[in-house]
């Protein structure tokens, strides 16, 4: 499954699902945010990917993006969020055409291709890329150029930006496996079906924390350099184009959380630190045009 999606496929999927977002009914001002306030609940799309949005051992949905969304919508007068779990590659289709939810809260990176489909909030966090490798890193993997030059078998999360990073770095498509989730990445490397797996360092360390006896490790994080330009991976929330009231509200509250330090308090239990707070010069517009 590639990062970009087919509109024809989406239309067929939407017809098959026949679903609609929880907030599709009438409301006083007709906006998505107005309907959420009227209902007291907003639906969010997650991909069951730790540490962004996932179901914990106690059955409760949590994660950095989920908890930040709770704080954002609480401040906007919406006391409840209702998560809907889909595969990562189905988040944008689920938002736009199946209309299963009204906001993606899954740590989704802002990319130019995605910016043509959805409206992103201001950056929520930054996250360097890393590799999951066998213990001792026998191939010495540090960058996508290493994967390319040594013709290594690479595993990535289906629909995630690392697939595009690998291709844009010259890794042949036939060397790349797109897998469904973090656990599949971990198993592929541990069992030798992939030489390495690429994802954010935050996600890989989180996955490894639950499998400490697995003979793999996470390499130091890095920002990919593609075509001579340094790519800064940054995640954000996403809404349907035209949901301006919702986007403006989310942006205002997210900025307030960053400026007050409350964002860091919320995010730290999920492995985030001061280095993941977006700098003032990192804008959605810059990320969309990168």
Q: What is the CATH number of the domain that holds 118?
A: 3.40.190.10
Same structural domain for residues 106 and 214? Answer: no
Residue 109 belongs to some domain of the structure = yes
Query: Domain check: are 120 and 133 in the same one?
Result: no
Question: Nearest CA to 236 among 186, 264, 190, 278?
Answer: 278
Same domain, 113 and 251: yes
How far is residue 114 from each of residues 128, 194, 201, 250, 284, measured CA to CA in Å? 19, 27, 22, 18, 12
> Is residue 288 one of the residues assigned to a domain?
no
How many structural domains compose the chain?
Answer: 2
Residues 148 and 198 in one domain: yes
The DSSP output letter for 134 is: E
- Alpha helices by DSSP H, the chain: 7-17, 32-39, 64-75, 91-96, 112-115, 144-149, 161-168, 182-190, 201-209, 244-260, 262-267, 284-288
Q: Over the stretch 240-255, which tens digit does the pLDDT of each residue have?
A: 999 999 999 999 999 9
Asked if residues 122 and 251 have their Cβ atoms less than 8 Å apart, the reply is: yes
Domain membership flag for residue 290: no
Are 135 and 159 in a shared domain? yes
Q: State in Å, rounded, how far the first CA of the chain is from the last one.
A: 23
Which of 177, 210, 230 terminates a domain? The answer is 230
Q: What was the pLDDT predicted at 4?
A: 42
In a domain, residue 208? The reply is yes
Please state the pTM of the whole predicted model.
0.73
What residues form DSSP beta bridges with 218? Answer: 132
Domain extent at residue 152: 129-230
CA angle 97, 100, 102 (to 5 degrees): 90
Identify whether residues 67 and 110 lie together within a single domain: yes
Do 160 and 245 lie in a common domain?
no
Residues in the chain predicted with pLDDT less than 50, given as ranges, are 1-27
The total of other beta-carbon atoms located within 10 Å of residue 215's CB is 10
Asked if residue 135 is part of any domain, the answer here is yes
Final residue in a domain of this structure, among 230, 245, 262: 230
Burial class (CB in 10 A: 0-12, 13-18, 19+), 148: middle
19 shares its domain with 112: yes
Task: Give the separation between CA 101 and CA 91, rounded to whole angstroms.
Answer: 9
Q: Do 106 and 145 have their domain in common?
A: no
| DSSP one-letter code for 32 | H
pLDDT of residue 213: 87
Q: Is the bond into 51 cis (omega within 30 degrees of 0)? A: yes
Q: Does residue 245 lie in a domain region?
A: yes
Residues 59 and 188 in one domain: no
Q: In whole angstroms, what is the distance from residue 229 CA to residue 2 CA? A: 22
Co-location of 55 and 117 in the same domain:
yes
List b or e across 250-289, with b for residues whose CB sees 16 or more CB atoms inside 10 angstroms. bbebbeebbeeeebeebbeebbbeeebbbeeeeebeebbe
29-52 per-position pLDDT tens digit = 789 999 999 999 999 999 998 899
In a domain, 284, yes or no: no
Q: Is residue 278 a part of any domain in this protein?
A: no
Q: Is 155 left (phi over 0), alpha (psi -120 to 50) or beta?
A: beta
> Is the same domain home to 255 and 118?
yes
Predicted local confidence at residue 211, as pLDDT: 84
Quick one: pLDDT at residue 78?
Answer: 98
Contact 63, 270 (CB under 8 A): yes
């Amino acid at each position: 499954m590639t990062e970009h999606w087919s509109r024809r496929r989406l239309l067929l999927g939407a017809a098959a699902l026949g679903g609609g977002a929880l907030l599709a009914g009438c409301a006083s001002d007709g906006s998505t945010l107005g309907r959420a306030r009227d209902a007291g609940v907003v639906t969010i799309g997650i991909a069951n990917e730790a540490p962004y949005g996932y179901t914990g051992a106690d059955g409760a949905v949590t994660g950095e993006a989920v908890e930040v969304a709770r704080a954002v919508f609480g401040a906007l007068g919406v006391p409840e969020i209702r998560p809907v779990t889909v595969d990562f590659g189905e988040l944008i289709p689920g938002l736009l055409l199946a209309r299963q939810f009204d906001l993606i809260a899954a740590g989704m990176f802002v990319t130019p291709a995605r910016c043509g489909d959805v409206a992103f909030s201001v950056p929520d966090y930054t996250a360097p890329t890393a590799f999951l490798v066998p213990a001792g890193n026998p191939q010495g993997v540090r960058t996508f150029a290493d994967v390319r030059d040594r013709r290594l078998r690479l595993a990535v999360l289906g629909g995630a930006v690392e697939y595009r990073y690998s291709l844009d770095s010259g890794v042949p498509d036939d060397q790349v496996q797109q897998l469904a989730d973090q656990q599949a990445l971990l198993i592929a490397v541990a069992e030798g079906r992939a030489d390495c797996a690429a994802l954010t360092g935050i996600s890989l360390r989180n996955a490894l924390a639950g499998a400490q006896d697995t003979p793999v490790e996470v390499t130091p994080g890095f920002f990919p350099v593609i075509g001579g330009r340094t790519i800064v991976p940054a995640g954000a929330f996403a809404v349907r184009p035209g949901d301006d009231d919702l986007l403006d509200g989310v942006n205002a509250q997210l900025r307030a959380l960053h400026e007050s330090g409350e964002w860091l308090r919320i995010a730290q239990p999920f492995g985030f630190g001061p280095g993941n707070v977006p700098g003032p010069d990192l804008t959605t517009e810059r990320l969309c045009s990168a």
